Amino acid sequence: MGNIRNQVRLIGNLGRDPEYREISNGRKMARFSLATNEYYVGDQGEKIAETQWHQVVAWGKLAEICERLLHKGSEVVLDGRLNTRSYNDKEGARRTYTEVVALEMAVMDRRSADSEAEPDATETSMS
């Protein structure tokens, strides 16, 4: 089964355009929010959608692909791992932040795939 101890697979849509940065050593980073929807039937028989928001970060070559192909609303399938960090805010309070570190991604958005002539824009990046 390989390494399944810390594995995440998400299918969703970007909530905003990704933010890009180049770290001091020249390594690129992309950060974006991804919405996933779950549907269930309520007590009255109505279909209810519940949206979860996930913070995602991609590094290196995968970040470069994000920069070329992703925009607000893009549909993506991604595999990654959870990463949790803690820090002290300006007031000294301890804060915890969890994000998904993207390792592989497939862009399902037709517009992005057509514009790049890469129908399957799947890429792997080691972080």
CA 112 to chain centre: 16
Task: Count CB neighbours of 106 within 10 A.
Answer: 15
Query: Do 80 and 56 touch, CB atoms closer than 8 A?
Result: yes
Q: What pLDDT band is residue 3 in, cutting at 50, 70 and 90?
A: low
Averaged pLDDT, 74-94: 95
The 3-state DSSP class for residue 73 equals coil
Average pLDDT, the chain: 87
CATH class of residue range 8-124: mainly beta
Give the span between the Cα atoms of 13 and 98, in whole angstroms. Answer: 19
Q: What is the pLDDT of residues 18-55, one digit of tens each?
A: 999 998 888 999 999 999 999 999 999 999 999 999 99
